């Protein structure tokens, strides 16, 4: 619990920013895109790294929890101040966005919106590939902390594949630099990769150096419709083994097709079991040839229809259907539990089958869509959180989805992070010794457990609770 | 006690807050989040505060007061929202709940009552107030707002508003419009013209020009008696009951004539009129009548386009830009027609400004009661306006028009830039003059 003395000290440290303590402000930093409301004691907004470091020293001395926060689009509870304390609103650190065309890097401060990096890079003919669908709202700091993915993960990888250097405030309040501006760097342990995806539990990222690549000059889209979900899965594997690496491969199951059609009709086939959208990018002539080949593979596997949109408008129309899945499904019921269990590509059809079994067993409204190409499916359960009995069934279904993913050699989370919701399942995937190793790292870095406490590691006996 | 809580939940429309999944897509489009820089002044933050009241976590409604007051109500968030949260409805319900529980000091209550119940709704009173008087009346609102704690700062900026007050119009011009003005040439439609309270009192010239443009386009234009203020200013200030009663008066008045459309020239009013069916959704006797009214409500730009556009003559070559009315864009969803009309004028180059859809900070009486916040938003807007190098800013709502004029004044651009209503601009382009004689008075 934070004392009045602490607050006074915090205010005296923050000379260039704001310290928010009003009830309305505290409630406004109590949530994210996942579940639960947790009131912080104070919210701090400052652009000064030195001030933040001094605050961390204070927190470390007084054992006050610190919760770094971007714009709180997290779907796993990353920024939730579950033990009160201080929230650092890092979205205010949005000033630094430099594109270096010679070194092919971007240097950014944590509050910069991911889409602003996309735009700045594109203006110079370059590309920053990670593209979480929240990129117009999410900050790069949040993306780094959670190691965000996105549709382009299939070909280009995820956030961690593009970070080569960081500036970090350690839990002791020291400012350190990891990595640098070179792609090759083997000096010592790779702390950059350790920090990325550590969900704010090891330190606060205050600057990052990101790798950029030349922007592919052309792209083309193929849409294939299948009568059977298994055929769609086979098409995905066949395409990937035919020597083509598409930039995106998105799957929509029947439930999501129907939901989108009910929401904004655009003539999608309600009776189809699955639809896949494939994007190929690269040199114009290669793109055209590969799109033809992809179309052929889909037909060979048994697609009932293959469409290749010709104009930009047609292409946008096709992708709009995929974008509409999330909004469409929450029209059914208000509460969306969005999972991102990921399996090896070859296991996609089997994962889809198991998801259908789980759906029936617990009688839940389960919709499956997502990044089929990299095995990162998004099974979403649509429920009503005021229905306690239903939420109990949802909890059980979610647990079984995790089990299925792990049994198939996959993982709990492909891109959303562990946060609060998936913490209880960590041991299932990592084993006791594996989890213990991670805990030891955490203890070595942050012996007073002040950095984002209550995340990733389960409390003894902690279970998934969705019914508040 | 429990019953009271259930009633409060209903009052603040708690149920509607549940469709917010807190994705944050509304953040980049919210003008107050951009200028005030905290979640408390974002749509997601405000919805969460209402949600917290509904879940019993916040028991003191005054916690919500400032965040709700500082919302412009531009509803840009609704266009960005992937799940269709009815933000406008949540905001108005929250404001009404706060107002109901608020203990105004008695002189303040009297002033509020006079303003909202007697001044805005009365064409007579508004007519009396007239052009420049209106601003003094606005200053009355400001004093009221200050006393009631809506704004903590002493107003010191009224002179700025005076400078941009439209020149007083001659008594001839102030005379009422005729009950029926027949179409020029072949009649295409019969329309009822909604005069509005601010438009009528302050920009009657624009109303005159509107009627002329409509008749030129082929409409019989009827001015219906007993019409009143649309109730938007009331609804936005938490006086929901009063706005409902105004809505009913308007519905009754306009039902008396058989018309194809009810036409207005103020985005803010249009947005209110078109949502009468939402406003009266709980009143079974009214909802169908309200629906019929709302369906007939159109902005003047829609009707002009429907009638085949305007007969524009050559203007001297110039650059113009368009500051959209938020309510026109986000609520009425009228976006193409004004542009189509602007671009139909020969020799005119239309330059889109950056962040064109961002609110200008006028927002009803927001620029008076939340002056500083409003000016911060205006300054950002003017930067984007300046970049276009346009000499004319076109608007489609009286509040925006005043705000743009204020912006020009503040930036010392008076020599090189002007702000006009779309109707004024189109009248100029078609050679329609302001002289009342040619309106067949």
Give the pLDDT confidence score for residue B33 in this predicted structure: 96
User: What does the DSSP 8-state code read for residue B13?
Assistant: T
User: Among A358-367, B75-84, B231-240, whose mean pLDDT is lowest?
Assistant: B231-240
**What number is the average pLDDT over the span B211-226?**
94
Distance from CA of A308 to the nearest CA of B (A): 27
Give the pLDDT confidence score for residue B122 in this predicted structure: 64
B185 and B300 assigned to the same domain: yes
B294 and B199 assigned to the same domain: yes
Given an 8 Å threshold on Cβ–Cβ distance, is B48 in contact with A27?
yes
Q: How many other CB atoms are there within 10 angstroms of residue A202's CB atom?
A: 22
Could you tell me if residue B154 is inside a domain? yes
**Residue indicated by tokens 């029209």:** A331
A73 in B contact zone (CB under 8 Å) = yes
Give the pLDDT confidence score for residue B234 in this predicted structure: 87
Give the domain extent around B224: 171-305
B112 and B178 assigned to the same domain: no
Q: How many other CB atoms are there within 10 angstroms of residue B200's CB atom?
A: 23
Could you tell me if residue B440 is inside a domain? no
B317 and B272 assigned to the same domain: no
Could you tell me if residue B441 is inside a domain? no
B258 and B330 assigned to the same domain: no
More confident residue, B184 or B202: B184
**Residue indicated by tokens 């440290």:** A13
Given an 8 Å threshold on Cβ–Cβ distance, is A27 in contact with B84?
no
d(CA B183, CA B190): 9
Give the pLDDT confidence score for residue B323 in this predicted structure: 96
The model's pTM is: 0.86
Task: Decide which of B237, B271, B305 is a domain's last residue.
Answer: B305
Convert the pLDDT of each residue in B281-328 to its tens digit.
999 999 999 999 999 999 999 999 999 999 888 778 889 999 999 999
Convert the pLDDT of each residue in B385-408 to its tens digit.
999 999 999 999 988 998 999 999
Residues of B in contact with A43 (CB under 8 A): 38
Copy the structure tokens of residue B139.
């200053």
Residue of A18, A24, A89 for testing the chain B interface, max B β-carbons within 10 Å: A24
**What number is the average pLDDT over the span B256-264?**
94
Residues of A in contact with B60 (CB under 8 A): 23
Could you tell me if residue B438 is inside a domain? no
Size of interface A-B (CB pairs under 8 A): 84
Q: Give me the helices (H) in A4-67, please.
A: 4-13, 23-28, 49-62
Q: What is the DSSP string of B223-237?
A: --TT----SHHHHHT
Give the pLDDT confidence score for residue B164 in this predicted structure: 60
Convert the pLDDT of each residue in B9-57 to its tens digit.
999 999 999 889 999 999 999 999 999 999 999 999 999 999 999 999 9
Given an 8 Å threshold on Cβ–Cβ distance, is A27 in contact with B38?
no
CB A402 within 8 A of CB A358: no
Task: Give the CATH architecture of domain A218-322.
Answer: 2-Layer Sandwich (3.30)
Give the pLDDT confidence score for residue A22 in this predicted structure: 96
For A97-214, CATH number out of 3.40.228.10, 3.90.1150.10, 3.40.50.170, 3.30.465.10 equals 3.30.465.10
CB A57 within 8 A of CB A43: no
Task: Decide which of B143, B163, B183 is a domain's last residue.
Answer: B163
More confident residue, A437 or B117: A437
A128 in B contact zone (CB under 8 Å) = no
Distance from CA of A54 to the nearest CA of B (A): 22
Confidence label for B1 from pLDDT (cuts 50, 70 and 90):
low
B296 and B208 assigned to the same domain: yes
Given an 8 Å threshold on Cβ–Cβ distance, is B19 in contact with A134?
no
pLDDT exceeds 90 at position B276: yes
Could you tell me if residue B179 is inside a domain? yes
Residues of B in contact with A44 (CB under 8 A): none
Residues of A in contact with B58 (CB under 8 A): 23, 27
Residues of B in contact with A137 (CB under 8 A): 23-25, 27-28
CB B313 within 8 A of CB B428: no
Residue of A17, A26, A28 for testing the chain B interface, max B β-carbons within 10 Å: A28
CATH class of A333-407: alpha beta
* Extended strands (E) in A170-247: 175-179, 204-211, 213-214, 218-226
CB B369 within 8 A of CB B362: no
B156 and B183 assigned to the same domain: no
A218-322 shares its CATH topology with A333-407? yes
Give the pLDDT confidence score for residue B173 in this predicted structure: 47
More confident residue, B161 or B142: B161
B93 and B110 assigned to the same domain: no
Average of per-residue pLDDT values in chain B: 85
B212 and B271 assigned to the same domain: yes
Give the pLDDT confidence score for residue A323 in this predicted structure: 84
Question: What string of pLDDT tens digits covers the 468 residues of chain A?
Answer: 799 999 999 999 999 999 999 999 999 999 999 989 999 999 999 999 999 999 999 999 999 999 999 999 999 999 999 999 999 999 999 999 999 999 999 999 999 999 999 999 999 999 999 999 899 999 999 999 999 998 999 999 999 999 999 999 999 999 999 999 999 999 999 999 999 999 999 999 999 999 999 999 999 999 999 999 888 988 998 999 899 999 999 999 999 999 999 888 888 999 999 999 999 999 999 999 999 999 999 999 999 999 999 898 899 888 888 888 887 888 888 888 889 999 998 888 889 889 999 999 999 999 989 888 888 988 999 998 889 999 999 999 999 999 999 999 999 999 999 999 899 999 999 999 999 999 999 999 999 999 999 999 998 888 888 775
pLDDT exceeds 70 at position B119: no
Give the pLDDT confidence score for residue A346 in this predicted structure: 84
A113 in B contact zone (CB under 8 Å) = yes
Give the pLDDT confidence score for residue A433 in this predicted structure: 97
Convert the pLDDT of each residue in B186-210 to its tens digit.
999 999 999 988 777 778 889 999 9
Give the pLDDT confidence score for residue A224 in this predicted structure: 96
Could you tell me if residue B436 is inside a domain? no
Residues of B in contact with A326 (CB under 8 A): 82
Q: How many other CB atoms are there within 10 angstroms of residue A15's CB atom?
A: 11
- Count the domains in chain B: 4
* Topology adopted by domain A4-92: 3.30.43
Could you tell me if residue B148 is inside a domain? yes
Largest CA distance in chain A: 72
Give the pLDDT confidence score for residue B108 in this predicted structure: 64
B176 and B293 assigned to the same domain: yes
pLDDT exceeds 50 at position B139: no
pLDDT exceeds 90 at position B418: yes
Give the pLDDT confidence score for residue B123 in this predicted structure: 59
Distance from CA of A111 to the nearest CA of B (A): 12
pLDDT exceeds 70 at position B369: yes
Residues of B in contact with A17 (CB under 8 A): none
d(CA B375, CA B381): 9
Give the pLDDT confidence score for residue B106 in this predicted structure: 62
Give the pLDDT confidence score for residue B167 in this predicted structure: 52
Distance from CA of A74 to the nearest CA of B (A): 8
Give the CATH number of the domain where residue B39 resides: 1.10.1060.10
Give the pLDDT confidence score for residue B103 in this predicted structure: 72
Residues of A in contact with B45 (CB under 8 A): 28
d(CA A19, CA A88): 10
B219 and B291 assigned to the same domain: yes
User: Among A348-362, B95-109, B137-151, whose mean pLDDT is lowest?
Assistant: B137-151
Give the relative orientation of helices B284-296 and B240-255 as an angle to the nearest 10 degrees: 70
B137 and B200 assigned to the same domain: no
Identify residues of B whose CB sits under 8 angstroms from chain A CBs: 18-19, 21-25, 27-28, 37-40, 42, 45, 48-49, 52, 55, 57-58, 60, 63-64, 66-67, 82-84
Task: Decide which of B305, B321, B339 is a domain's last residue.
Answer: B305
More confident residue, B313 or B159: B313
ipTM of the complex: 0.93
CB B138 within 8 A of CB B366: no
Q: Where are the domains of chain A?
A: 4-92, 97-214, 218-322, 333-407
Which chain B residue shows the shortest CA-CA distance from A331? B83
Distance from CA of A447 to the nearest CA of B (A): 32
Could you tell me if residue B40 is inside a domain? yes
Minimal Cβ distance to A31: which of B37, B48, B66: B48
């Amino acid at each position: 619990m934070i004392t009045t003395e602490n607050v006074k000290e915090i205010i005296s440290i923050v000379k260039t920013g704001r310290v928010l303590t009003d009830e309305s402000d505290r409630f406004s930093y109590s949530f994210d895109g996942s579940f639960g409301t947790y009131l912080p004691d104070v919210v701090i907004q400052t652009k000064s790294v030195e001030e933040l470091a001094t605050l961390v020293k204070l927190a470390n001395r007084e054992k006050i929890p610190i919760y770094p926060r971007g714009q709180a689009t997290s779907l796993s509870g990353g920024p939730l101040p579950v033990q009160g304390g201080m929230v650092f609103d890092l979205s205010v650190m949005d000033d630094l966005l430099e594109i270096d065309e010679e070194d092919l890097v971007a240097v950014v401060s944590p509050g910069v919106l991911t889409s602003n990096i996309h735009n700045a890079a594109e203006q110079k003919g370059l590309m920053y590939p990670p593209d979480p669908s929240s990129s117009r709202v999410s900050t790069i700091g949040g993306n780094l902390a959670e190691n965000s993915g996105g549709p382009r993960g299939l070909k280009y990888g995820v956030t961690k594949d593009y970070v080569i250097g960081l500036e970090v405030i350690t839990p002791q309040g020291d400012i350190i630099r990891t990595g640098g501006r070179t792609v090759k760097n083997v000096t010592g342990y790779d702390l950059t990769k350790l920090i990325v995806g550590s969900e704010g539990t090891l330190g606060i990222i205050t600057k990052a150096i990101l790798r950029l690549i030349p922007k592919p000059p052309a792209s083309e889209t193929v849409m294939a419709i299948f009568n059977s979900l298994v055929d769609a899965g086979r098409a995905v594997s066949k395409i990937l083994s035919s020597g083509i690496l598409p930039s995106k491969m998105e799957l929509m199951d029947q439930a999501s097709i129907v939901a989108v059609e009910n929401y904004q009709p655009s003539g999608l086939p309600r009776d189809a079991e699955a639809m896949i959208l494939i994007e190929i990018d690269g040199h114009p002539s290669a793109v055209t040839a590969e799109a033809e080949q992809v179309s052929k593979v889909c037909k060979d596997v048994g697609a009932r229809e293959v469409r290749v949109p010709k104009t930009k408008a047609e292409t946008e129309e096709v992708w709009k259907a995929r974008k509409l899945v999330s909004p469409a499904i929450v029209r059914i019921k208000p509460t969306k539990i969005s999972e991102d269990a990921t399996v090896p590509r070859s296991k996609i059809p089997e994962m889809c089958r198991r998801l259908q079994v789980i759906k029936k067993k617990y009688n839940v409204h389960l919709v499956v869509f997502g990044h089929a190409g990299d095995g990162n499916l998004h099974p979403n359960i649509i429920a009503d959180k005021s229905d306690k009995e239903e939420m109990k069934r949802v909890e059980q279904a979610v647990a079984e989805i995790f089990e299925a993913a792990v049994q198939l050699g996959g993982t709990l989370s492909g891109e959303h992070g562990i946060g609060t919701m998936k913490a209880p399942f960590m041991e299932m995937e990592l084993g006791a010794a594996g989890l213990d190793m991670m805990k030891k790292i955490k203890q070595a870095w942050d012996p007073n457990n002040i950095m984002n406490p209550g995340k990733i590691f389960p409390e003894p006996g902690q279970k998934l609770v969705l019914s508040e | 006690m429990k019953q009271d809580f259930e009633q409060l939940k209903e009052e603040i429309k708690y149920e509607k807050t549940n469709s917010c999944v807190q994705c944050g897509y509304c953040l980049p489009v919210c003008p107050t989040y951009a200028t005030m820089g905290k979640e408390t002044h974002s749509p997601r933050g405000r919805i969460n505060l209402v949600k917290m009241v509904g879940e019993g976590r916040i028991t003191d409604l005054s916690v919500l007061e400032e965040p709700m007051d500082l919302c412009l109500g531009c509803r840009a968030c609704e266009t960005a929202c992937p799940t269709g949260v009815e933000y406008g409805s949540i905001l108005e319900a929250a404001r009404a709940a706060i107002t109901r529980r608020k203990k105004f000091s008695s002189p303040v209550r009297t002033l509020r009552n006079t303003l909202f119940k007697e001044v805005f709704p009365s064409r007579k009173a508004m007519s009396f107030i007239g052009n420049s008087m209106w601003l003094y009346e606005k200053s009355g609102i400001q004093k009221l707002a200050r006393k009631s704690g809506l704004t903590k700062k002493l107003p010191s900026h009224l002179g700025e508003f005076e400078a941009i007050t439209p020149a007083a119009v001659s008594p001839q011009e102030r005379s009422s419009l005729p009950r029926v003005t027949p179409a020029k040439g072949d009649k295409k439609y019969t329309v009822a013209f909604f005069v509005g309270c601010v438009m009528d009192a302050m920009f009657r010239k624009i109303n005159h020009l509107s009627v002329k443009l409509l008749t030129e386009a082929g409409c019989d234009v009827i001015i219906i008696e007993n019409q009143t203020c649309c109730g938007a200013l009331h609804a936005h200030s938490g006086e929901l009951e009063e706005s409902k009663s105004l809505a009913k008066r308007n519905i009754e008045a306009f039902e008396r004539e058989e018309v194809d459309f009810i036409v207005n020239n103020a985005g803010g009013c249009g947005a209110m009129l078109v949502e009468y069916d939402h406003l009266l959704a709980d009143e079974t006797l009214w909802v169908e009548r309200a629906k019929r009214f709302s369906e007939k409500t159109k902005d003047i730009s829609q009707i002009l386009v429907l009638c085949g556009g305007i007969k524009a003559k050559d203007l001297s070559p110039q650059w113009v830009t368009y500051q959209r009315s938020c309510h026109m864009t986000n609520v009425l969803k009228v976006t193409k027609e004004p542009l189509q009309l602007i671009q139909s004028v020969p020799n005119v180059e239309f330059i889109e400004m950056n962040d064109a859809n961002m609110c200008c900070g006028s927002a009803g009486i927001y620029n008076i009661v939340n002056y500083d916040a409003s000016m911060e938003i205006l300054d950002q807007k003017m930067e984007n306006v300046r970049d276009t190098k346009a000499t004319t800013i076109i608007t489609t709502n009286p509040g925006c028009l005043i705000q743009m004029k204020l912006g020009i004044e503040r930036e010392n651009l008076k020599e090189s830039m002007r702000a006009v209503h779309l109707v004024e601009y189109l009248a100029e382009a078609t050679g329609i003059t302001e002289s009342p004689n040619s309106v067949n008075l």
